[in-house]
Structures are given as structure tokens and as C-alpha cells.
Structure 1
Amino acid sequence: MENLTFPLYRPSFLFYLVCTPCTPMLTINETAIHVALTEHNQPTNMKVPAIVFSIPLAILLAVGAYFGHSWQTERAEAERLQALADERKQEWEESHAAEESENTVSDTPVKAPVNINDYYGKWTVDLDNSDSDLSINFTLEDINSVLSFSANAIWGQGDRVITIDPVSITMNEAETQADGYYRDSRDDTGAIILDFENNEMYITITSSNTHAWDISVQHAHCTRAVDSPLSDAMSTLSEAQINAITYRIYEENEFGASIAMQGQIMNRQNWRNYEQALLDTLVDRIGNYDMSGIDPNYTAEQKLAAWMTVLPNDPNTGVITCQISRASFEQWMAANYDVDTSISPQAGIYDSNDQCIIRGSQGYIDDDINVYNIHSIDDSTFYVQFEKTYPTDSTSDGYGYAVVHMDNLDDQHFTIWELGWDTESISEQSLAAYKN
């Protein structure tokens, strides 16, 4: 007898679990199926008629075929889903790569030669919200055939002002960038870089020091300042009116030159920040100038007595000593600066009775004031630019500006609404606020 031995079809784990223990191997001839079993650990052959296994074997083969088909179907479905996922992933990657490519092209700065003459004038730096309290303005101009840069940075309502006097900057050979170096009013130094890209201008300012008042910016966009329409008032005001404006600014000498006002801008809203300096110079200004509002021929003590109580002179220095109430000082500030007196004073200036002791100085040399520009903001308000000069040799001691106002031009009594003793130009924001 020739035996044909073959392994059973094993399509799934279920087949092994249920059937393999009972039917380890089948051998087939014409009439019988030989089953190899184990008895007492010894092989035992049994000859069983083929019909006995014909039905179970058919069932087993059917079950195996079913599970085999099911496994093949699941595998085919998994492969189909994986292929679909791979296809979608490839489509996304191709689309994302194309989008990145488009963005890269659009964001790449286009640098082309520029005519720097087209960029002369005043500019503002577009700062982000991280420092909304700061504004930076700068000017590009031709000074003696040299490209020059000047700037001022202003915090708040003039709480701090940093200036850069005109410095020369140089265009590169490609005429796409200008750069130079500066020293500002705080003696900080750094580089100025102007980049001309996509028909726009961007500015970078570095600083040698990092502190609350440095003006460093990194590749910030610049916007051309729109000049507010101002009419030249030098030719329309009378000589007496111009002299009155000049003298009113001259009266600010001692206060303007005080440490508290260095690089600062005072206006009608922030004046309480400078209240102590104003009080420290009040005795001199009322006693020595025409800021008492009474007969200028009166003696200094008579002028002072109109506003405060005159006390015995200081025993150590001999200077005039006075006591003034908060109400009287606010009245004087309203008369000379038209300030908002509803703002509360800083702590420690007045005692519990709202009184303050103030003293005169032991002498002060004033700068001369030369007004070189007056523009009309409206019929009674003027933007004035002036130069300070040393009285001994008439050399310059810097530049400043003031916004002066008078209700009646005939009485020639000017109030000062804003004063930048060390700042030559008013900010565009402040000027726009006055015009609106």
C-alpha cells in the first residue's frame, strides 16, 4: 500500500484550537483512513473506515475555507485603507509644500535700488503693542549734501524724551540700504540701519545699553508722517506779540533747566509729575518775572505776598522762604499753564493742611531765547520752536519747543500748554491732538 501523507490546511488559530488535538494526521487509501494515535505514550495505528471522517473533514475544510477567506478579506481591506491613507498623506504633503513655496516667494524681500531723495522727510516707526507707550519719529534730510538722520523717542505724554541729533548715514553701492552710527541724549551709542524692501522702508536701531529707555528696534516698518497743515505765523503776528511769546518762554528758564525736566515734555495733563520742580522754582519766577499777574513795578515780596505767605529768610542761606497752599498753587498753574487741576498731587508734597514750604534760589543764569519758527495751530494757539543760547558768548545751548495759547491776543498773556525744553520738534501724535 502506498501512503500519501500531507499536512492539514491550517487557515486560522480557531482550527488549531478545536481540531488539531483530535486529528493530528490523516493517511488515505482506497478504502480506509489510517489515524495515528498515541496510547500509553506509544504510537498506535487505527484503521477507520473513510466514511467515518468524511463528514467532519468536510466541515473542517469548510470552516477553514470560511476563516481563510475572512482573513484574506480583512487583510485586503486593511491594505486598501492604508493605501488610501498614504495617498491622502502624499496629497497633503504636496499641497503643503506648494503653499510653503508660495509663501517663501511672497515673503522674500525684494531689494531694488532706490532714489534716496524720494525718502526725505519725516517718518514714524510702526511699533507693536509690546511698547504702545513709546513713539519714535525720525527725519531724513540733506544737510550740506550729506544724507542725515535725526530722531526723537517719546514715552507717554512726554514722561521721557530721548533725542538723536543729526548724524550722517551712508547708502551702500547697491542703493538698497543706508547705515550709520549715533550717540543719543543719554550718551547711549549704536547703529542705524535703513533697509529698502518691497518699496517700503524698515529701520533697525541697536543700543549699547539695555534699559527702560533704550530705543532699540529690530527691522520695524516705517510710515511717512503726514505733515499737519500749519500756517506760518511769523509774518501774521505783530512784533509785540512775538516778543510776548519769546518772553513767556524765557520765563521757563529755571524750571526748564531743572534736572526734573531734562529730556522731558510737560503738558496740561502730566504736570503733576513735575510739581515739585515747579514749586522749587516758583519763588524766583513770581518774584523776578512777570508771573505774578500783578503790577510788574511791585517789589518781589509784594508779588509773592499776592500768592503766598512770606516767611523769614532761611537762616543758613539767606534766601527767601515762603509758604503756599495747594489751592493757591493750582490757581497759579491754571493762570500760567491752563492745567487740569482735578488731577491729584503726588504724595508728600503738601502737609496735612495742604501747605508747602518753598524757597528761592541763590542765583541762576538764564539762557537767552531766540524764536525761529511760529506756526498757527488755530487762531489763538501756536506751535513755537526756539533756540537757547548762552548769554556770555551767544553759543547754542540746545533747542526746544512750546505750544502757547492766549485767549485774547491783545492782552499778550500767554499760557504754555506743552513744553519740551530739550526737544526741538513736537510729536505728530501731540500735534494731531491739538488740531482735533
Structure 2
Amino acid sequence: MRKSYYQKMAVLGLLLLILLGFQKYTEKSDEPFPKVTFISESLPIESLSEFDPNDLDENQWQKLGFSQKQTATILKYKQIVGGKFISKEQFKKCYAISEDKFNQLETFILLPETNAEAKGNSGFKTFEKKSLNITRKFNPDRFSQNDWENMGFSEKQAAAILKYKNYLGGSFVSKEKFKECFIINEENYAKLEPYLILPEKTPPNFNAYAGKSILIKHKTPQSSFDPNTLDVNGWINLGFSEKQANVIVNYRDRNLKGSFKTLDDIKNCFVISAEKFEELKPFIKFNTATMAKSSDERKPEFKQEKTDFSKVDMNSITFKQLLEFGLDEKSAGSMIGFRKKLGGFMTKEQILETYNIDKELVQKLLSTAPLDNSKVERHTLVDAPEEWLKNHPYFKYSADKIIFYRISNPDDKKIWKLLKTKPEYEARMKLYLK
């Protein structure tokens, strides 16, 4: 009897342990799965340049705005697909790269668009990693494109380094800032650091991100200059940002048929402030020979016109009118292209979301020009044409689900519940719904 008693107690103890273990398991299963979030900080467009994602190390991915976890996921995904990204299509499928982040980087990625294109393009260029040739100490602010290439950087990498320098305002400022250039990895920085003639630390009052994306240095001309012979770099050397310099050159070559004729012509360019004009005025010297050459030999692409932009609807403004206002061809083309894909803008905020535009200049245009969205095509989720859903930038990623759900749930409210889209995506989509 005593033996039977102990056996029963042992069985009961075992059952009790099993029950306790199951309880802990069920409690743990109720814990929410950790939410995957993407950092909101984005590298400013002005500081980006073309790059091959196969060349970037962990530190460089983080400089592009990815978190440490996202970077680890990207590098692991690269190994899963064979150790090398072959196309933008393949790169985009990495779940650590959000749609917004991919859209920001897409135009700078040096890869074919699709897998099929990559496989059919055996001549697709890849960049060889070269060892750096450093023989003496140097000031990187004085290095040209050719100097960086002679040191061992590729043509694209050298251009990216110079673009980053312009982004900082024309100087690397310090070793700290130089190290932040995303195209320079840890290994190369370690080789370069002993030879850099730069301060170790960044000055406390330096802030390249305050208010504007480019630090503008106020430079006073050292000698007289002819405004009709200056290119973009010439205006940058006078203290203007790269964007402002492009606007000035476009204004001169398009609106003024190739040359400034009077001081008022320069003063009327809106990116030149009254203070800056007074600073430049004593040094401006017109040369009649260059004025004649500019007006006779340069065939203006567009005639000078005087458009009243307060009466021009942003949903009907033309490419030509955008150039007249001062936008470059890239900005104007991006805005017109995005508007065409959307079928028209519903809000002015959408216009500022357009990639590759001069936001400062466009903001000035939006403060003047009206927006009429009354003629923009709208539908319900139930009756929206399939082609419209699949081609609209805001709906195309949910188009198949919408088409499937509305077969058995012909009600917009029920479809929204089934879609379970992010609030910000739902808000954008509802702009185009009745």
C-alpha cells in the first residue's frame, strides 16, 4: 500500500509540473509580437549621390538613415539572394526597406530596374574596390574630382564626396564631418584620417541642418566679375547654395535670353536678397562683348513671358511655366510626372512630397498659385476601375486586395476594415475617394 501511495503522489507531482509549464507557455503566447518600426529620419536628398548597394558596409547603411537592426536585415538579405543585389526590384523586396525609404533612394541606386533586365544585361557595370594611394597629408577641401579618382576612388564615389562637401557648404569642416560622408567606409576612413589636414572636432556653432538643407556661406567678392560669364560653380563661390546658383543661371539663360543687361535684371532674381545684391553691386562689371554673345549665340529654349502665377492652377500649370518661375528641368519634370500619375493634386502638401524638387522654391510658388481639385477623378472602392486602382500611386499596392474583397463585400466601410492599412496610407487614399 505504501508503494502504491508513493507512485500516486509521483504521478500527481508530474501532472502539476506539466500544468504549471503549460500555463507559463499560454501566458507567454499572449505577449504582443514586438512591433517592427522604421526610423523616420531620412538623409536629405541634397546629400545623396549615386551608389551601388553591393558596396556599402554596415556603417554606410546606417549613414543612409537605417537603424542597426534594419542594416543587419539588409546585409542578411543580401546573403540570402546570393551575396549580391542584381536589381532594384530585388532590393525593394527586403522588408527592412519601407516604401517611402525606397522611393527616396531609388533614383540613386546603380542597379538595373528588374531581375529580367539584370539577367539580360551581362555588361552591367560594377565597381571594383581599389586600394587607396595616399602619399602625403592633404586638405580634402582642395581636392578636385580628378584628385579623388587618382587616390583610388571611382568616378561615382569621387562625385559623391564632392557633392557631400557642397552639401556642408563647401567645406568638410572637421574630421568628424568628413567621416560622416556615407560613401567613405570605416576601413577607408582609418587609412585617410592620419593624412587629413582638418580640425578634429566640429565647431559648436556649426549646423548644416538649421532651416535649410545646405549651409550658405556669406562670401564677399575679392574682385570684379561679369555675371554673364559665371556658371553654377561661379555663383556658389560668391556664397550661394547649389540650388540658388542653378536658379540664377536658369533665370539668366531662359528668362533673360542668355544674359543680364542691367543691374535691375540681377536684382529682380528672387533668390538674390536685397542685402546680397548690395554686397555684390560694387563688383558687378558688364562686358558688352559677352552680352552680345549671350543674346546672339545662345538660342533661348523658351521665350520670356510674364505669367501671373496667382491665377495659374497647380493642376494645369505647364512645364514651360514652371521653368519660367525658376524651377530646373528635373524639378519641373518630377512635378508634372507625379501629377499625371495621381490624375491631379488634391492638396498642396502632396506637391511638396514630390521627389527631386526644389522644395524651397516650390513652397514659394504654392504661396502664390491656387489649387483647384474639382476636376480630379474620384471613385469609391466598390466602383473604382481596376486599371485605375492598379496604376494610381496611392492604391496600386492594395489594388488586388480591394478587387478581391469587394466581390463579396460591396461596401467601402467593410473593405477598409479588411484592408487594415496604415492610417497615413488610408488618409492618402481617401483623398481620391467620393
TM-score normalised over the length of structure 1: 0.22
Which of the pair is proportionally richer in strand?
1
- Structure showing greater radius of gyration is 1
